[in-house]
Chain A
Amino acid sequence: MNLVIDIAVTHVRSRLRQTLVGLLGVAMGVGFSVMMASLMEGSQRDFVSQLVDSLPHITMNDERRSPPRQPAEDAFDTIAISGLRTPETRPGIKNPYAIMAELEGWLNGAVAPSVETRAVIRYAGRDTAASVIGVDPRRERYVSKLPTQVRGGDLDALYKSSNAIIIGDKLAQKIGARIGNTIALASGRGEVMSCTVVALFHSGIAQSDETQAYTLIKTAQILAGQTGIINAMRIRVADIMQAMSVAGRIEAQTGYKSVSWQEANEDLLSAFEIRNFIMYTVVGAILLVASFGTYNIISTITHEKTRDIAILKSLGFTEGTVRRIFLIEALLIGLAGTVLGWVLGYALCSLLGTIEFKSPFMDATHLPLYYTPKHYALAALVALTASAIAGYLPARKAARQHPVEIIRGAS
């Protein structure tokens, strides 16, 4: 065996108890880090997938990001235009079915038309604002999880009666309506329409469950008072990470504002970034604390081994060789601790995975954990780096000692 490794191994082996303590320190650091990372990323992924899966990945609507050029600007060198007003009704997407066909030509995913409008639901003497979305049930199943979220019926129930409506379960609870009840929808222009609740839906996202309702496109068009209008396209892509670039392409092609799930949930995603930052800080701190144990051990060993260091140097060992001996000792502790920490981390994750939670606010009964070699590699990297630094400092000090002074002191 290599001489340096041989001496290093002998040193750590002859201090079994100290070595074990240091090793356990690193192991716990690595173990808890792995567990925490798995938990944090697990819950984040769980949340994102719930969020992303239940809604279309991209929504294109009839707005534009910047106001359209006015004909006057094309005709004259106009400096400023004032007094323009937004039209009171939504303009709708021009030639929606042509656009859909065009998008379907290249898109790896699906497109479905929809009409978004707002209404006030009147039931049992109470008024509740709701957003009503007119969908095409045959196409909707390819762009959102809505068909699977319908309770007490299915999406095709919308065809079963004229003016059929599916409302969020929380909304139904709020107004006290049940399946089969007839509710009144008042449009912005004051016209009232009677609709029959044919089913409920539960998306798990409180905001939609409390405020949304689905009808057929035709029903929503009548409610909006705009026959034939389509004002939003619901789009799903095969690879959710591509949503942002696909949205950009759609927008460039059609000129209509296309919002990807990433853009729609920007605040949430940036909150995740902060959360991740906090997580990595805490994980780093845990491992740093663990490395203090290693520092302590290597310090102690170099102190106890002052005489041996002087001997080795008097024999002709270089400073570099002496330094390497103690550095390797620290890395041995770090390495063994890391491997043990991996086992510990995996065990902790498995244990957490078996715990059941019963909460009225959550659908999940188990902690969402995410397993990836990345967490293990990252914890190992930090642990080994910390060990190397923890070993290097005392090793450098030890290697610099002047052998003469020690030899004088000892003889």
Chain B
Amino acid sequence: MTANAGASPVIALKSVTKTIGDGVVTTLVRDIDMSIFPGEFVSITGPSGSGKSSLLYLLGLLDVPSSGDVFIQGQPVNKLDERARAHMRLSLIGFVFQFHFLLPEFTALANVMLPMRALAELDQHAMQERARTLLASLGLHDHMNKLPGQLSGGQRQRVAIARALANTPKVILADEPTGNLDSKSSEQVLAIFRRLVDETGSAIVMVTHDLELAERADRHVRIVDGRIV
């Protein structure tokens, strides 16, 4: 983390608060300041219901803060419209959820190609090549043309990671990516993340319940009651 101290953050939150409800107001995230730098592996832990997922959705522009500012590569995004935010998600951010969230009717390969096709920066052939390379690097050579229903939980999660990496995002946001996996698969995922950070300079923010995994990140953030402690 110190290696990147001089660089500008990929994502920065400035006193971000998120509340929901009109009458009974629930505060999910309280006055958070946080910066994610390129090539940084950040882990987030905290009790259930402390606001970890909510924080991740704010970092990934899936949700808008009630107050405070979000910056992507130094640019404030609060004022951007839905299309511009969607485009930032597509080109800069990769999500991995606890549940794999693959499209059930599409093969592993097609699922990985989905974000590339939406961004449409590569031609069909280059997209296919890149998707194959990604899947192969995650040990899925033999499963590219299978549907999600024909894959194991760990395999699906790796396909989901490959999809998150499809457009070479600047930051990967992972919400309990190992939550449904056994320890061997969890190790695999963690190794993939570590390699990614070291090799590509992308940043990773990973929410986890596993303290041992969390300690192996470059920086470990603890959330309690919507606050960083």
Given A14-B105, A410-B99, A411-B97, CB of A314 within 8 Å of CB of B89: yes
Contact of B82 among A3, A11, A318, A408 (CB under 8 A): A318
Cross-chain contact A311 with B86 (CB below 8 angstroms): no
- Given A315-B115, A316-B86, is A411 in contact with B105 using a C-beta cutoff of 8 Å? no
B106 interface contact, C-beta 8 A: yes
Known A3-B114, A3-B118, A408-B53; judge A318-B83 contact (CB<8 A): yes
Question: In the complex the two chains form, is A315's CB within 8 Å of B89's CB?
Answer: yes
B57: Cβ under 8 A from any A Cβ: yes
B118:A317 contact, CB within 8 angstroms: yes
Chain B residues in 8 Å Cβ range of A403: 62
Tell me whether A314 and B95 are in contact (CB under 8 A): yes
For residue A154, CB closer than 8 A to chain B, the reply is no
Contact residues of B between 58 and 95, Cβ < 8 Å to A = 60, 62-63, 82-83, 86-91, 93, 95
Asked whether B101 lies within 8 Å of A316 as measured between CB atoms, the reply is no
A residues less than 8 Å from B103 (CB atoms): 7, 308, 311
Which residue of chain B has its CB nearest to the CB of A316?
Answer: B90
The residue on A at minimum CB distance from B99 is: A411
Question: Is B82 a contact of A315 with CB atoms below 8 Å?
Answer: no
Determine if B62 and A314 form an interchain contact, defined as CB atoms under 8 angstroms apart: yes
Check B175–A411 contact: CB distance below 8 A.
Answer: yes
Q: Which residues of B contact A10 (CB under 8 A)?
A: 105-106
B188 within 8 A of A: no
A408 CA / B89 CA spacing, docked (Å): 18
CB of A176 within 8 Å of the partner chain:
no
Please, which residues of chain A bring their CB within 8 A of the CB of B102? 311
Given contacts A307-B101, A311-B101, A318-B83, contact A3 B117 (CB under 8 A): yes
A5–B102 CA distance with the chains assembled, in angstroms: 18
Q: Give the residue name and chain of the B residue nearest to A319 (CB).
A: B82
Q: How far is the CA of A321 from the CA of B103 in the complex (A)?
A: 16
Neighbouring A residues of B91 by C-beta, 8 Å: 316
Q: Any chain A CB within 8 A of the CB of B185?
A: no
**Known contacts A308-B103, A411-B175; is A315 also within 8 Å of B63 by CB?**
no
Whether, in the assembled complex, A381 has its beta carbon less than 8 Å from a beta carbon of chain B, the answer is: no
Instruction: Confirm or deny: A407 has a beta carbon within 8 angstroms of a beta carbon on chain B.
Output: yes
Cβ B105 vs Cβ A316 within 8 A: no
Q: How far is B63's CA from A332's CA once the two chains are assembled, in angstroms?
A: 33
> Chain A binding site: helix, strand, loop or mixed by DSSP?
helix
CA distance A405 to B108 in the complex (A): 25
Q: Are B83 and A404 in contact (CB under 8 A)?
A: no
Q: Across the two chains, which residue of chain A brings its CB closest to B163?
A: A315
A313 at the interface (CB under 8 A from B): yes
B98 contacts partner chain A, Cβ-Cβ < 8 Å? yes
Given A3-B118, A311-B103: A316 and B89 interface contact (C-beta under 8 Å): yes
Interface size class of A (residues with CB under 8 A): 20 to 34
| Residue A320 at the chain B interface, CB threshold 8 Å | yes
List of B residues within 8 angstroms of A310 by Cβ: 101
The answer on a CB contact under 8 Å between B57 and A315 is no
Q: Which residues of A contact B57 (CB under 8 A)?
A: 404, 407
CB atoms of A316 and B115 under 8 A apart = yes
* Given A11-B105, A307-B101; A316-B87 close (CB under 8 Å): yes
Q: Mark B115-138, 1 if CB is under 8 A from A, else 0.
A: 101110000000000000000000
Residues of B within 8 A of A311 (CB): 101-103
Question: What mask results when residues 395 to 411 of chain A are scored 1 for a CB within 8 Å of chain B, else 0?
Answer: 00000000110011011
Distance from A268 Cβ to chain B, minimum over Cβ atoms (Å): 58
* Docked CA distance A410–B115 (Å): 21
A410 partner residues in chain B, CB cutoff 8 A:
99, 101
Q: Which A residue's beta carbon lies closest to that of B169?
A: A316
CB contact list, A102-155 vs B, under 8 A: none
A307 to B119, CA, bound (A): 21
Tell me the A275-331 residues at the B interface (CB within 8 Å): 307-308, 310-321
A404 and B95 alpha carbons, distance in the complex (Å): 12
A403 to B86, CA, bound (A): 12
Return chain A residues, CB-CB under 8 Å to B82.
318-319
Indicate the member of A10, A313, A316, A319 with the most B CB atoms within 10 Å.
A316
**A331-359 CB contacts (< 8 Å) to partner B:** none
B residues with a Cβ closer than 8 A to A are 53, 57, 60, 62-63, 82-83, 86-91, 93, 95, 97-99, 101-106, 114-115, 117-119, 163, 175-176
**Pairs of residues from A and B, 5 with the lowest C-beta to C-beta distance, nearest first:** A316-B90, A316-B89, A3-B117, A318-B86, A411-B98
Q: In the complex, given contacts A317-B90, A318-B86, what are 6 additional A-B residue pairs having Cβ atoms less than 8 angstroms apart?
A: A10-B105, A11-B105, A315-B89, A316-B115, A317-B118, A407-B57
- A sample of 27 inter-chain contacts (CB < 8 A) reads A11-B105, A308-B103, A312-B114, A313-B62, A314-B62, A314-B89, A315-B89, A315-B90, A315-B95, A315-B118, A316-B86, A316-B87, A316-B89, A316-B90, A316-B93, A317-B86, A317-B118, A318-B83, A318-B87, A319-B86, A403-B62, A404-B63, A407-B57, A407-B62, A407-B97, A407-B101, A408-B53
Q: Which residues of A contact B (CB under 8 A)?
A: 3, 7, 10-11, 14, 307-308, 310-321, 403-404, 407-408, 410-411
